[in-house]
Amino acid sequence: MTLQEIIDHSKNIVFFGGAGVSTESGIPDFRSTDGLYNQKYDYPPEEILSHTFFVSHTEAFYDFYRDKMLCLTAEPNAAHKKLAELEQKGKLSAVVTQNIDGLHQKAGSKNVFELHGSIHRNYCTQCHKFFDADFIANSVGVPTCDCGGIIKPDVVLYEEGLDDATVTGAVDAISSADCLIVAGTSLNVYPAAGFIRYFRGKYFVLINRDVTPADKYADLVIHDSIGKVLSDTII
């Protein structure tokens, strides 16, 4: 079956996306050959983006975070827009994303489970006051609250667990879907990649530039641009 035929036959689609969904909006993929993990810094990005590093080298964390993670000028691409359209038409019930850029919501998607959090939510570690991404972008050094507490982005760093409510919502959505479209992810990042195991529906579709460990289990595999592939579908 083609992707068009699968979408036509599906009533409850869930989309599971990774970094590849946002690269077409100019946001670098962590693990691609030209992504963040292959660039040179005083510390490796895996170390910088850890809870331990945030606590022990907070200013260095924020130097990297502002420079490489706060992509506030990025706009939704064709994939984000088509997914929002699918939701509006009642075809798609949820988006589960490993991305933290908020582009699905910016495109109009309503039911989005952000497994790794969002750059658009930041909280004081003492009084829990909320701060938006612009506040972080415009701050200098370590951003602090009026109460004196350090502000921390609501993103899941290495050594931190996923949010329980987000996990439950994502698992429920995937397990009740009749079609799961997985795109833009290497399926090498756990625990997030393990979520596809909860799918018990009819159609499992994989769209990714490179081969993934789950290709052999999919009903349809497309190695191409996610934006191009989804743009060609008609709702």
SS3 for the chain is CCHHHHHHHCCCEEEEECCHHHHCCCCCCCCCCCCHHHCCCCCCHHHHCEHHHHHHCHHHHHHHHHHHHCCCCCCCCHHHHHHHHHHHCCCEEEEEECCCCCHHHHHCCCCEEECCEEEEEEEECCCCCEECHHHHHHCCCCCECCCCCEEEEEECCECCCCCHHHHHHHHHHHHHCCEEEEECCCCCCCCHHHHHHHCCCCEEEEECCCCCCCHHHCCEEECCCHHHHHHCCCC
Left if phi > 0, otherwise alpha if psi is -120 to 50, otherwise beta: which for 117?
Answer: left
pLDDT digits (tens, 9 = 90+) for 93-128: 999 999 999 999 999 999 999 999 999 999 999 999
pLDDT digits (tens, 9 = 90+) for 198-233: 999 999 999 998 898 889 999 999 999 999 999 888
Residue type, 69: M
Homologous superfamily of 1-26+76-116+156-235:
TPP-binding domain (3.40.50.1220)
Please give the C-alpha separations between residue 210 and each of 6, 16, 163, 214, 223, in angstroms, as whole numbers: 22, 16, 29, 11, 6
What is the per-residue pLDDT for 37? 58
| Distance of alpha carbon 185 from alpha carbon 85, whole angstroms | 22
Annotated catalytic, 51? no
pLDDT for 30 beyond 70: no
CA-closest candidate to residue 108, choices 122, 121, 89, 136: 89
Residue type, 134: D
| Distance of alpha carbon 105 from alpha carbon 87, whole angstroms | 12
How far from the centroid of its chain's Cα atoms is residue 23's Cα? Answer: 11
Domain with CATH 3.30.1600.10 in the chain: 28-70+123-155
Q: What is the mean pLDDT of the chain?
A: 92
Residue type, 130: F
pLDDT for 34 beyond 80: no
pLDDT digits (tens, 9 = 90+) for 143-194: 999 999 999 999 999 999 999 999 999 999 999 999 999 999 888 777 767 8
- Sign of torsion, CA 161 163 164 167? negative
CA-closest candidate to residue 77, choices 111, 110, 101, 61: 101
Marked catalytic residue, from 80, 116, 120, 128: 116
pTM of the model: 0.93
CATH architecture of 28-70+123-155: 2-Layer Sandwich (3.30)
pLDDT band at 91 (very low <50, low <70, confident <90, very high): very high
Domain with CATH 3.40.50.1220 in the chain: 1-26+76-116+156-235
Q: Could you tell me if 14 and 96 are in contact, meaning their C-beta atoms sit under 8 angstroms apart?
A: yes
